[in-house]
Chains A and B, each alone.
Chain A
């Protein structure tokens, strides 16, 4: 009896090793001479020759948006034979460093923060992009290349873009009350005062919410960024990111005062919910809903807020909700546009990965993605603007691809994480929740700036 157990065991071990080996043998196939692709596949000839390879991509994009991504490169995959395996995580920012540090880096990562890109480059694991990706970079506003670069070296090509300088409102409510869309900051404030005088009960001209789990506070950083960019322009904004201009600097203090008179003004907020401090406890997802009940006049929030409106809400110039471009605080600043986006970063330099990297940086892929589903905009200037069907996408694309715009990336995403995703968020929540002074808030953030 004992003997039989032993022999069965030995057999098991043998089987185990055999199957273990065979399942490992289906890794990246060696590059074979590129086959000629024909018909619909001919357009992917430049990426051919890596059939049988698998490229892994890791990002923060979740379903249903990630399904649209998978659809957008399905044809590419079928024609070139490169399998693209996308994995999304809602804790991407903390997962990626853990994966990379543990030797489990994906081939490509879609990084939404230039600050995180800098951090990953500093680990020495990010690979330089192939020549074609670098060449494709010419299709973007030059500011984008800067955000995909670290210390002057270009690493990651931008992918999607979102437009943050928008104000959501209800066209029907505006029409009913004879309000017109403001085009200057002075008009915007005059409209807010007029609304405040006309509104009763919990209704207020503005609503806001900065609750967002671990990222609570980020919408407030956007408000401050809009005001800094719209008051002082790109140079001060860039120096602010690099801490040459501190939060306690008189210019940023002026900007904070403007925010104080706007989103922390008890006369103006928080429509449909309560007082100023209720902004700290309202989630950003729920912030704009009072607009639908005529309890709130306006909400400053990015283009991606479109996804938060309940099913059945029509979005458009004559619909239930629409958005207008947030006017510059200082009219002499040429169309300040704050945006966000993602950067395709490579942790592998094998040819299949580079083929995917090249394809994702091309206007052809951007066109393919736009065709799949609305709610997605590229800042690639070569993209066919007529493909956008959604009014918010059209509005965002118009400003993001505008060569005269003063485009800047979300500052907190570009600052060191200790500030941009730490102290600044915390201090903003404090500012709204406890009514701390501007000076104290600024001092708190400046003190957290990493020393080395």
Chain B
């Protein structure tokens, strides 16, 4: 039983020890839980309510504290310093210098503008196409196959999707045979000298956005489709009796009825887009004028040793997300009050 009896050299014994410690940790956790609930169950009288609050709220608060609040404060603090790499011994506060750099450096400014373009294009197209396909599916009979096809990309990781689309955008100089799907298709359509897609500014940024839209449309379609289904049939019936059909029914009845859901989907996609990292990182690593804020932040913090500069970018992203989050939370709360 005792682990010291197992010879240390063999790989299997190392694996066994690891497994053993995992089991120990899980068992320990369960035991602690049992003890806490056991004590809580016995508690009576004045301490019952405060104890229950502490036990139910405590772990969540603790996790939020160590996983969110402390790192946020640390990052904000870091953004006012001149730290270049992790563990640097001597650093000093330089005020808003990093923010000044972020808003005056032409490369970073371009990155911000590009991120803004992502924020406008991706959510609009994702929700637009999602809504359209949800509507089409609503009126169709056999929808499982098209639904699956549109929803499938949602299950693919951003990195996986980027690798797939990397092949699509692949380019070989003619007259050599094309290996990329996009080049081949446009050449078959008669465009004899297509550009090297991934190098072609600003087309390349939009090509990267397509990947994101491809992934998000499925999500938008499913949520909006469910909302459309939830509109009471009587309302649609009476609208039809009043003569509203097709586009009119859609504009005046269906869209207003699912407006809350549209807004939630829109803000969710915006937040995901603001954090876009994987696609740019995998496809171009920010080269060829395709950089976005979160990729630049990662590079500053972990690759090029400009930790404080990266922290400032992180804070900027954080500040941009807050209003969206607040709106989203308020919207959800409103819905709960009405529902």
Contact residues of A with B, CB < 8 Å? 2, 5-6, 9, 12-13, 15-16, 19-20, 22-23, 25-26, 54, 83, 93-94, 97-98, 100-101, 119, 122-125, 201-202, 213-214, 216-217, 273-275, 277-278, 280-281, 416-418, 421-423, 426, 429-430, 433-434, 450, 452
20 contacts between A and B (CB under 8 A): A2-B38, A5-B34, A6-B38, A12-B31, A94-B303, A97-B87, A98-B86, A119-B85, A122-B88, A202-B175, A214-B281, A274-B196, A278-B171, A280-B287, A281-B199, A418-B84, A418-B304, A421-B304, A422-B299, A433-B287
| Distance A304 CA – B304 CA, assembled complex (angstroms) | 25
Closest Cβ–Cβ distance, residue B25 to chain A (whole Å): 9
Q: Which residues of A contact B173 (CB under 8 A)?
A: 202, 273-275, 278
Chain A residue, CB-CB nearest to B32? A13
Given A273-B173, A277-B196, A416-B305, A429-B287 contact (CB < 8 Å)? yes
Q: Mark B1-26, 1 if CB is under 8 A from A, else 0.
A: 01110001100000001001100100
**Binding site of B, secondary structure by majority: helix, strand, loop or mixed?**
loop
Known: A2-B38, A23-B3, A417-B305. A273 touches B87 (CB 8 A): no
Are B87 and A101 in contact (CB-based, < 8 A)? yes
Interface check B272, CB cutoff 8 A: no
A23 to B303, CA, bound (A): 37
Indicate if the CB atoms of B28 and A13 lie closer than 8 Å. Answer: yes
The answer, among A123, A274, A280, for a CB contact under 8 Å with B288, is A280
A44 to B: closest C-beta gap in Å = 17
**Are B303 and A214 within 8 A (Cβ)?**
yes
Instruction: Return chain B residues, CB-CB under 8 Å to A83.
Output: 8-9
From B9, B20, B306, contact of A418 by CB (8 A): B306
Contacting pair B288 A124 (CB below 8 A): no
B186 within 8 A of A: no
How far is B199's CA from A417's CA once the two chains are assembled, in angstroms? 26
For the complex formed, measure the closest distance between the CB of B283 and the CB atoms of chain A, giving whole angstroms. 11
Does B35 interact with chain A (Cβ within 8 Å)? yes
**Does B319 count as interface, using CB distance less than 8 angstroms?**
no
A429 and B38 contact, CB distance less than 8 A:
no
B28 CB contacts on chain A under 8 angstroms: 12-13, 16
| CA of A122 to CA of B34, assembled, Å | 48
A residues near B281, Cβ cutoff 8 Å: 214
How many angstroms from the CA of A62 to the CA of B196 in the assembled complex? 33
Q: B254 in the interface, Cβ–Cβ < 8 Å?
A: no
Shortest CB-to-CB span from A43 to chain B, Å, is 21
- B171 to A19, Cβ gap below 8 A? no
Q: How far is the CB of B217 from chain A (nearest CB, A)?
A: 28
Chain B neighbourhood of A98, CB < 8 A: 86, 302
CA separation between A97 and B303, bound complex, in Å? 10
How many chain B residues have a CB neighbour from A under 8 Å?
Answer: 44
Interface pair A421/B24, CB less than 8 Å apart: no
The docked-state distance in angstroms from the alpha carbon of A2 to that of B201 is 70
Q: Does B285 contact A (CB under 8 A)?
A: yes
Q: How far is the CB of A108 from chain B (nearest CB, A)?
A: 17
- Chain B residues with a Cβ under 8 A of chain A: 2-4, 8-9, 17, 20-21, 24, 27-28, 30-32, 34-35, 38, 82, 84-89, 171-173, 175-176, 196, 198-199, 201, 281, 285-288, 299, 302-306
Known contacts A25-B4, A433-B287, A433-B288; A19/B89 CB under 8 A = no
Evaluate whether A23 and B305 lie within 8 angstroms (CB atoms) in the complex, with A12-B27, A123-B88 already known. Answer: no
Pairwise interchain contact A19-B24, C-beta atoms closer than 8 A: yes
Q: Which of B3, B88, B287 contacts A216 (CB 8 A)?
A: B287
B85 contact from A5, A13, A26, A97, Cβ within 8 A: A97
Complex Cα gap A202–B32 (Å): 70
Contact in complex: A9, B84 (CB < 8 Å):
no
- Per the bound structure, the CA–CA distance linking A111 and B37 in Å amounts to 50
Docked complex Cα distance between A418 and B299 (Å)? 10
Contact across chains for A100 and B87 when beta carbons are under 8 A apart: yes
Asked whether A426 lies within 8 Å of B85 as measured between CB atoms, the reply is no
**Cα–Cα distance between A423 and B291 once the two chains are bound (Å):** 13
B196 x A16 contact (CB < 8 A): no
Asked whether A97 lies within 8 Å of B198 as measured between CB atoms, the reply is: no
Give complex CA distance A354, B27 in Å: 39
CA distance A274 to B30 in the complex (A): 62
The reply to whether B85 and A23 form a contact with Cβ atoms under 8 Å apart is no
Q: A423 to B304, alpha carbons, bound, how many Å?
A: 8
**Which 7 pairs from chain A and chain B are nearest by CB?**
A274-B173, A422-B304, A123-B87, A417-B305, A94-B302, A101-B86, A101-B87
Assess the B82–A452 pair: CB atoms within 8 A.
yes
On whether the beta carbons of A16 and B24 are closer than 8 Å, the reply is: yes
CA distance A211 to B198 in the complex (A): 12
Of all chain B residues, which has the CB nearest A100? B87
Residues of A within 8 A of B176 (CB): 202
Bound-complex Cα distance A98 to B87 (A):
9
Q: Which residues of B contact A93 (CB under 8 A)?
A: 303
List A contacts of B86 (CB < 8 A).
Answer: 97-98, 100-101, 123
